[in-house]
Structure 1
């Protein structure tokens, strides 16, 4: 074969991409995924754009001020103590009470953040007192964790399974014998990983674009400004995390010769993807657990962007986590290439891991 190694790798990658793009099942499932993402963003945006009237506490002296604010419902209180109690319990989003000698006629009490819409609607900017330090909205935090985790889980499982099925199919049909007579085994592995990585990244970029457009259309620029940088970090982490998993999926599949045996070697990989996903979802509000997960290679693609979104990670932490992920990726590729090379031509019974590593 006269083609150079990069050309040979790209030929294999093109073959992988073309085979997926010709698959009606793949195209339909991708379309459904993108449509579901668009509908979800639009529904969430429009619901938040038409909220229920906000409950605001006010005394007899300030009730008339609050009543003049659009989309608010007055909850009358007798004094400041009662107003503070309602604000802290979450029964009202804020309270407007008579002011002191600071020059304003009233004071606005808020639990975590002063409602921007209420501040803008008042005739003068009141003195603002935050009763409890602000934090990320638990619901928004959970939704972002669910979004990052679900996208990574679906992409890794879908394309990882595709790579595994492709490897076993080539072994069953003996096509692999023709392929490696023309190109080195590691070139074949590299082409498969690169081809599927391109497809997976294309899906991620499309999903990110849909999310951005949906947030803009529904007027959620504030949320977009907060999640924009974490989405970029997620794309970078996803790239290396997927390469790590894709190479291991190909290696695991090369150890068997029948489609029905794929699960026996890929099940540990499925667990490595699912376990961190559920941990990030369930412990998204636990700083200690989330910090640990942000440095573990299999959960870092979800854990670190989550910490960046909620402001619990510094920029250097993201770079450190990415360096660990890249180093793990290099190690995984080396091990996967060894297993793939030593197992690809062995037919019949499942190749044991130890034998595959020893060759």
Structure 2
């Protein structure tokens, strides 16, 4: 007895979701991930808030040289009655360094205990005025962290749920369950249900990450950063939806080529590499505008590259739309080819099915 296509896809998707939600390993790993994200955000906020300026002792002759740094909060100044008192404050550990009069051209020198206070030296160093032709409001290290965050979330979700799809496909082939399933639904409906079910789980995990991150940023008083990330996060979710379906279809199709769990890793490794390459590119080339521009149009890296460029303000308004059209077209093409490979390989057991044979049917 055959089942209508929408109902068949819905049943398979529901089965995939229920199996995962009943897995203690999945629930525990998801909980640990959420706690790790929240803890990292809160810890970063606490550390940045608790970071104190270097403590420096000054005397009346040198107070004018560092008064501006004291007013801005870059240095925490303590006034000593004499040079000897300032040196004693350094010896006691009350201050990190002391600025005292000297006969050199600057008119002062830094006194420290056993090591040069690098932070104080840098603040007092004479440097030329820097003029920026195209000033940016984005901090380089912050940009690096945001790029890494997008890369990690996409990489972990794609590999985790993609591997689950692959293992499920091979397990059903090994146990012959797939023969029973195909007596009532088609192979393409089975593949669509697997991709849909795991996609819903992945999207749910992304939503939890977004909620946890927003909560953490709000608790630590980083609402301004949350506001700046709003548009980038929204586009990341949109690109993630299509990018994940693309990767999931590839995992399902390639896994259908083999019949043993031992062969899953080798047959799906090219797909894993497609997900890993953008992750490493954003680590090493996040400040390279040309590389990021190319990444934002390549379907496998667009979910990372385009949101990062939007955060930096490097992308024109039409660029994410064009990139999304390319990603959507690629996803539809991969689904069409992947479903053909899946359908032609699912009932073939034994040795690994060659890709050319799977395409020919």
TM-score, length basis structure 1: 0.82
The structural deviation recorded for 1:152 is 0.7
Deviates more, 1:259-268 or 1:160-169: 259-268
CA distance 1:94–1:12, change in 2 (3 Å): farther
2:305, 2:133 → 1: CA distance?
30
CA distance 1:136–1:111, change in 2 (3 Å): farther
Match of 1:145 in 2: 147
Match of 1:98 in 2: none
2:205, 2:343 → 1: CA distance?
30
Deviation string 1:43-66 (CA, Å, 9 cap, x unpaired) is: 11111122221799xx96685465
CA distance 1:92–1:135, change in 2 (3 Å): farther
The structural deviation recorded for 1:292 is 0.3
2:342, 2:124 → 1: CA distance?
59
User: Which secondary structure does the structure 2 equivalent of 1:136 belong to?
Assistant: coil
Match of 1:104 in 2: none
The structural deviation recorded for 1:34 is 0.6
2:195, 2:66 → 1: CA distance?
65
Q: Identify unmatched segments of 5+ residues in structure 2.
A: 57-61, 78-98, 108-120
The structural deviation recorded for 1:91 is 2.9
Match of 2:210 in 1: 208
Match of 1:5 in 2: 5
Matched ranges for 1:36-47 at <5 A = 36-47=36-47
CA distance 1:70–1:139, change in 2 (3 Å): closer
Match of 1:67 in 2: 70
Match of 2:243 in 1: 241
1:355 aligns with 2:357: yes
User: Does the 8 Å CA contact 2:3/2:184 hold for their aligned counterparts?
Assistant: no
User: Does the 8 Å CA contact 2:3/2:185 hold for their aligned counterparts?
Assistant: no
User: Does the 8 Å CA contact 1:343/1:356 hold for their aligned counterparts?
Assistant: yes
Match of 2:188 in 1: 186
1:257, 1:208 → 2: CA distance?
38
The structural deviation recorded for 1:353 is 0.2
TM-score, length basis structure 2: 0.81
The structural deviation recorded for 1:136 is 2.1
Matched ranges for 1:130-169 at <5 A = 133-169=135-171
Matching residue within 295, 319, 322 for 1:320? 322
Instruction: Using CA pairs under 8 Å that are at least 6 residues apart, name the structure with larger relative contact order, 1 or 2.
Output: 2
CA distance 1:55–1:291, change in 2 (3 Å): farther
1:91 aligns with 2:91: no
Larger Rg, first or second structure (1 or 2): 2
1:278, 1:66 → 2: CA distance?
40
1:55, 1:308 → 2: CA distance?
40
Matching residue within 242, 248, 272 for 1:270? 272
CA distance 1:243–1:52, change in 2 (3 Å): same
1:54, 1:110 → 2: CA distance?
24
1:355, 1:166 → 2: CA distance?
22
CA distance 1:55–1:111, change in 2 (3 Å): farther
The structural deviation recorded for 1:280 is 1.6
1:190, 1:132 → 2: CA distance?
48
User: Does the 8 Å CA contact 1:55/1:93 hold for their aligned counterparts?
Assistant: no
Matched ranges for 1:224-263 at <5 A = 224-263=226-265
2:55, 2:226 → 1: CA distance?
26
Deviation string 1:168-187 (CA, Å, 9 cap, x unpaired) is: 00000000000011011111
1:219, 1:94 → 2: CA distance?
32
User: Which secondary structure does the structure 2 equivalent of 1:315 belong to?
Assistant: coil
1:160, 1:167 → 2: CA distance?
11
User: Which secondary structure does the structure 2 equivalent of 1:183 belong to?
Assistant: coil
User: Which secondary structure does the structure 2 equivalent of 1:49 belong to?
Assistant: helix
